Structure 1
Amino acid sequence: MITVENVSKSFPLNGNPVAALRDVSVDVQAGSLFGVVGPAGSGKSTLARCIALQERPDRGVVRLDGLNTGTLDGRRLREVRRQLGIVGTKPELLAERTVAGNIATPLEQLGVDGPQRRSRVGSLLDLAGLTARAAQHPGELTDGQLRRVAVAKALAAGPAVLLADDPTAGIAPEEAGAVLAVLDRARAELGVTVLVTTQDAGVVRRVCDDVAVLEEGAIVERGTVLDLIASPGSWTAQAVLPAIETTRAQTAKYDRSADVVLIGFASVGALLPEAAGRFDVELATIGGGLTRIGDTPIGRFRLGVRGERADAALAWIADRGAHVTHTARGPQSVVAA
């Protein structure tokens, strides 16, 4: 488990300190895939470097499994750093070595013998989907493949924590998906705790269990992704859920309108039709759409409801775990998205 307690960090600029992190606190559960999200300059990379023990906070503490890393130096610091795998935005690979050779480099440095080394490299090539590229050199690979090699190399020594700083930046969407799949497999199959920094809300939607949103060095939102999307005003909900675009003319046809978030297979597939039948109302989706958070289907819709029991139908939907907000009666009180 990673615990960041009230961490602040500044850097000098033209002789004056500029705050990169302001009293940041987050908890990253062991075995989770945690996203730190924010725009450029928000402090994401600085936070990652503090957790990776590449920077020391000005104030506050970073703990790894309860260990106060601020007290470490010398040999003990190097030992703890070996438990941390780090993937930067620019993969540090040796051009003269093959893909397999690059992944093997950390194992050679640790003195791992040949058979063990080859077995470990083979497993990581499979994890990264690069077995067919094992004999190629970095210059023959795409940017996305290079990122996957870098992830496999960072995992070679068996770290407990993998820190990936903006791992999908600057690569095509289909290649970004492959990189995220490798990070997700590392968490699922190797039990590695993965912390990803990113500007892309799509990364949160596809692989993250938990998220912290940074703005100007401060945490403005944190929690599980599924909890945060239930709050319509949250950054996470606005960033990862389908947009709702409706007109006043569309909502004017109905007695009642509401924005609804449905989470899970049962809710998305059956809740709305069952409510319509049970309460004898017309219930139409007039905006929004479907997405997935990891493997969980999510629906965000603007509903139009017509019928005497419209309010009862919406209350029943909410009682069954849906998140119903922004209800309005009649066209005069409906504001189009």
Structure 2
Amino acid sequence: MITVDNVSKSFPGRAGAPVHALREVSLDVGAGALYGVVGAEGAGKSTLARCVALQERPDRGAVRYDGINLTALEGRKLREARSQVGVVDPKLRPERTVAGNVAAPLERLGVDAPRRRQRVGTLLDLIGLSRAAAQLPAELTPGQQRRVAVARALATAPAVLLADDPTGGVDAEESGAVLSVLDRARAEFGATVLVTTPDPAVVRRVCDDVALLERGSVVESGNLLGLLGKHGSRIADELLPVITTSRAEAAQYDVAVDVVLVGFAAVGALLPEAASRFDVELATIGGGLTRFGDTPVARFRLGVRGQRADAALAWIAERGAHVTHTLCGLRNVAA
């Protein structure tokens, strides 16, 4: 659906030296996907979002929707292409009601009143704010305001929805509701959703695929769950629970390994079954549990004791666990 092909973008900096916001960025976002671009402040996420939304022209490279190079369009064709894109703008018109804000894009297109009311009603139901239709933005919480901004971006039924830092300035309790709306936009309306965020929790909550942007360059990308067991994955390291086990603690065991377990069966039953089957002790000495969407995921450091420790770990790996790092013979290593 969306292809970003070697896009570079720079801006004038101090003393005339250019600031390179994007450096040969390439992404492939499938139709109907919820794709996350994560990175620290200044990584280039907002510039990328503006280029994909056709609000900025890249210096080099191309942005394509369904194979059409949008960066080469001008005039009417460019305006038509932009109509395919809904951009979540958190700034609402303060003098207009919630319903009035959502209806604004339809009014600009000349959509008649009955169809406007029907579309607005559908969108307010989607975001869970039907009862707030007559309220002003100032009467809403920050999270509710952001949900209204999403509804407004969806008013014209765009094929692509862009949300740059959709939970910025929204507390953790309300952020989940904002992300649920984005997920519903994809599931119920078929929109392709591109989210940029500095918050790894956003990616864990809703994204199928992810790219890590650093200093204007994509340093890693791919299917989110597929990256979790990849040795050396920067994205996995950012998103999985942190392991802080000391070397001295690990040295108390015959073998210490880091494992990633994905899914209910793996997280709930795999380790106890391995311990029983191979008559070994499997102790969790670091890491923790999290969720990626509805999928539970664990990253543990395991301390293993027993003569069949290697066989137990091999059996775990054969059943889908990712053994990402192994430390053997720790009792013989100085802490």
**Superposition pairs for residues 159-178 of structure 1, below 5 Å?**
159-178=158-177
Question: Is 2:30 the partner of 1:32?
Answer: no
> Over aligned residues, Cα RMSD in angstroms?
1.5
Q: More deviation in 197-206 or 110-119? A: 110-119
Q: Residues 248, 216 of structure 1: CA spacing in aligned structure 2 closer, same or farther, 3 A cutoff? A: closer
| CA distance 1:227–1:73, change in 2 (3 Å) | same
Q: CA deviation at 1:110?
A: 1.6
Q: Would you say 1:125 and 2:113 are equivalent positions?
A: no
Aligned to 1:9: 9
Q: Which residue of 1 aligns with 2:324?
A: 325
Alpha-carbon distance between aligned partners in 2 of 1:245 and 1:149, rounded to the nearest angstrom: 41
Post-superposition offset of 1:23: 0.7
Does the residue aligned with 2:121 lie in a helix, a strand or coil?
Answer: helix
Tell me how far apart the structure 2 counterparts of residues 197 and 234 of structure 1 sit (CA, whole Å): 19
Shift in alpha-carbon separation, 1:318–1:12, aligned structure 2, 3 A: same
Aligned residue type for 1:197: T
Instruction: Report the equivalent of 1:64.
Output: 65
Look up the SS of the partner of 1:171 in the other structure: coil
For the 8 Å contact 1:288–1:302, the answer to whether it is kept is: yes
Tell me whether 1:53 sits opposite 2:54 in the alignment: yes
- Point out where structure 1 has 5 or more consecutive residues left out of the alignment: none
Question: In 2, Cα distance between the equivalents of 1:261 and 1:335?
Answer: 27
The code of the aligned residue for 1:132 comes to R
CA distance in 2, matches of 1:267, 1:103: 44
CA distance in 1, matches of 2:51, 2:315: 47
Q: CA deviation at 1:331?
A: 2.5
Q: Structure 2: any 5+ residue segments left out of the alignment?
A: none
* Alignment match, 1:83: 84
Displaced runs of 4+ in structure 1, greater than 3 A? 332-336
**Deviations 1:59-105 (Å, cap 9, x if unpaired)?**
111101110112211111111101100013xx232211110111011
Output the CA distance in 2 between the equivalents of 1:80 and 1:316. Answer: 53
- How many angstroms apart in 2 are the aligned matches of 1:67 and 1:198? 27
Separation in 2, partners of 1:161, 1:49: 13
CA contact (8 A) 2:254 2:331 kept: no
Aligned-pair CA distance for 1:279: 1.1
Cα distance in structure 2, aligned partners of 1:331 and 1:121: 63
| Greater displacement, 276-285 / 217-226 | 276-285
The one-letter code matched in structure 2 to 1:161 is V
Deviation at 1:293, TM superposition (A): 0.5
More off after superposition, 169-178 vs 309-318: 169-178
Inter-partner Cα distance in structure 2 for 1:138 and 1:13: 37
**CA offsets 1:181-227 (integer angstroms, 9 cap, x no match):** 11111111111111011100111111111111111111111111112
Paired amino acid for 2:13: L
Distance between the aligned counterparts of 1:41 and 1:296, measured in 2? Answer: 31
What letter is aligned with 1:158? A
Question: Is residue 268–residue 299 contact of structure 1 (8 Å, CA) maintained in 2?
Answer: yes
> Is the CA contact (8 Å cut-off) linking 1:252 and 1:331 kept in structure 2?
yes
* Code of the aligned partner of 1:165: D
Q: Is residue 256–residue 304 contact of structure 1 (8 Å, CA) maintained in 2?
A: yes
Q: Retained in 2: the 8 A contact 1:232–1:238? A: no
**Aligned residue for 1:18?**
19
Contact 1:289/1:301 (<8 A) preserved? yes
Q: What residue in structure 1 maps to residue 151 of structure 2? A: 152
The 8 Å contact of residues 263 and 297 in structure 1, kept in 2 or not, is answered as yes
Deviation of 1:335 after TM superposition, in Å, equals 9.4
Counterparts of 2:287 and 2:72, CA distance in 1: 51
C-alpha separation between the residues in 2 aligned to 1:173 and 1:238?
22
Give 1:288's aligned residue: 287
Q: What are the superposed Cα offsets for residues 89-134 of structure 1, whole Å, 9 maximum, x if unpaired?
A: xx23221111011101111222222222111111111111111211
Query: In structure 2, what is the Cα distance between the partners aligned to 1:121 and 1:77?
Result: 26
Q: What is the percent sequence identity of the aligned residues?
A: 70
Report SS of the residue matched to 1:96: coil
CA contact (8 A) 1:251 1:334 kept: no
Segment drifting more, 234-243 vs 248-257: 248-257
> Displacement, 1:232?
4.5
- Following superposition, the deviation at residue 308 of structure 1 comes to 0.6
Q: Which amino acid aligns with 1:122?
A: G
Please say which of residues 194-203 and 318-327 is displaced more in the overlay: 318-327
Query: Aligned residue for 1:274?
Result: 273
SS at match of 1:8: strand
Q: Show CA shifts across 1:272-304 (max 9, x none).
A: 111111111111211111111111110111111
Paired residues, number = 334
Indicate conservation of the 8 Å contact 2:230/2:324, yes or no.
no
* In structure 2, distance between residues paired with 1:200 and 1:333: 41
**Do 1:328 and 1:334's aligned partners in 2 also have CA atoms closer than 8 Å?**
no
| SS, match of residue 24 in structure 1 | strand
